[in-house]
């Protein structure tokens, strides 16, 4: 009797897991099919220049992604920040920009977005030679955790959103890290379509990463922020910002890199402007 009961419960559990993705897909379809609120559309049109640049089919796709994203992710105000629709729409629209034109599970590890009024202080313990532990404080505009959290400064988010052509965007940066972290710790290699894609991705990005490191060391011009020379994970986040914000310059100066990013994101922002 006990063995039969265990077998039955195991069968039920397996069936529940097997159908959970189907239920999730159906729920997302229902949400995406709801009318997009008029006040949300007004926020996108007036506060998010990216939206105005998109072709009509991508605008429609983006709105559906936003509805699902806002249904599944929690926004939490910190240091007295009161979350409203403008904050949620501004962040969600740019996070979902990275999901267009390709299958997505909507940042599956992400559970919440913490929003501070301005750049925030993060304390980290540093271990020096000899085992000496010290506390280091850094002022950040954004941070992405593999454990399900993105942290953003609303002040920086507003500034970056208002200027979509300067190559700097904290939301795109942190959500690029989320894409990178879907397969584990961020390492500059997000989930690609095919195994064979990794060889060319690795070759092109490694060459460009070294090029940026050399430019940073010599204080030479680069289209990319020197911060991208920190490590491959930061490099991927930085080039993602530039891909969406300065696509023409990226195509002209780093064509092979642009083509790799265009293949990954399934987008060609050069043709949006």
Q: Residue 121 is inside which H or E element, if any? A: strand 120-127
Please indicate, yes or no, whether residues 175 and 130 belong to a single structural domain of this protein: yes
Mean pLDDT over residues 156-160, rounded?
97
Instruction: Please check whether residues 200 and 178 belong to one and the same domain.
Output: no
CATH number of the domain where residue 256 is located:
3.40.390.10
Report yes or no on 20 lying in a domain.
no
Residues 242, 161 share a domain: no
CATH of the domain at 99: 1.10.472.150
Is residue 6 assigned to a domain? no
Looking up tokens 């039955």 gives 8
Closest CA to 98 of 58, 143, 46, 149: 58
Pair (142, 80) in one structural domain: yes
Residue 125 pLDDT > 60: no
The verdict on 155 and 258 lying in the same domain is no
71 and 137, same domain (yes or no): yes
Domain termination residue (choose one: 182, 214, 238): 182
In a domain, 141, yes or no: yes
In angstroms, rounded to a whole number, what is the distance separating the alpha carbons of residues 53 and 269? 9
Residue 104 has pLDDT above 60, yes or no: yes
Say how far apart CA 204 and CA 222 lie, in whole Å: 16
Indicate whether 170 and 198 sit together in one domain: no
Facing residues of 126 across strands?
134
The answer to whether residues 238 and 160 belong to one domain is no
Return mean pLDDT, the chain: 91
Let me know if residue 14 belongs to a domain. no
**Boundary (domain end) residue, out of 123, 156, 182:** 182
Q: What are phi and psi of 16, to 5 degrees?
A: -60, -45
The domain in which residue 232 lies consists of 187-273
**Is 25 a member of any domain?**
no
What's the pTM value of the predicted model, to 2 decimals? 0.89
Q: Which residues, 6+ apart, have CB-to-CB distance to 20 below 8 Å?
A: none
Let me know whether 270 and 153 are in one domain. Answer: no
What pLDDT, on a 0 to 100 scale, did the predictor assign at position 7?
A: 55
| Residues 17-74: tens digit of each pLDDT | 557 889 999 999 999 999 999 999 999 999 999 999 899 999 999 999 999 999 999 9
Total domains in the chain come to 2
In three-state secondary structure terms, 125 is strand
pLDDT tens-digit series, residues 229-271: 999 999 999 999 999 999 999 999 999 999 999 999 999 999 9
């Amino acid at each position: 009797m006990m063995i039969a009961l265990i077998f039955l419960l195991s069968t039920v559990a397996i069936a529940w897991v097997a159908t959970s993705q189907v239920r999730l897909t159906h729920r997302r379809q229902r949400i995406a099919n709801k009318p997009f609120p008029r006040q949300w559309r007004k926020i996108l049109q007036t506060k998010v220049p990216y939206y105005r640049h998109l072709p009509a089919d991508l605008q429609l796709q983006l709105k559906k992604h936003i509805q699902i994203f806002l249904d599944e992710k929690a926004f939490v105000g910190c240091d007295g920040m009161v979350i409203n629709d403008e904050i949620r729409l501004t962040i969600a629209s740019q996070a979902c920009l990275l999901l267009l034109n390709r299958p997505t599970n909507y940042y599956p590890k992400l559970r919440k977005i913490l929003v501070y009024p301005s750049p925030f202080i993060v304390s980290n313990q540093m271990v020096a030679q000899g085992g000496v532990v010290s506390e280091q404080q850094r002022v950040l505009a954004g941070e992405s955790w593999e454990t399900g959290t993105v942290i953003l400064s609303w002040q920086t988010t507003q500034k970056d959103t208002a200027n979509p052509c300067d190559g700097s965007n904290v939301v795109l940066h942190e959500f690029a890290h989320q894409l990178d972290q879907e397969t584990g710790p961020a390492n500059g290699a997000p989930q690609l379509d095919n195994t064979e894609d990794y060889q060319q991705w690795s070759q092109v990005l490694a060459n460009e990463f070294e090029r940026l490191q050399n430019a940073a060391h010599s204080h030479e011009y680069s289209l990319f922020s020197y911060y991208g020379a920190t490590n491959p994970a930061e490099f991927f986040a930085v080039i993602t910002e530039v891909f969406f914000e300065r696509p023409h310059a990226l195509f002209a100066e780093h064509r092979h890199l642009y083509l790799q990013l265009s293949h990954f994101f399934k987008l060609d922002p050069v043709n949006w402007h």
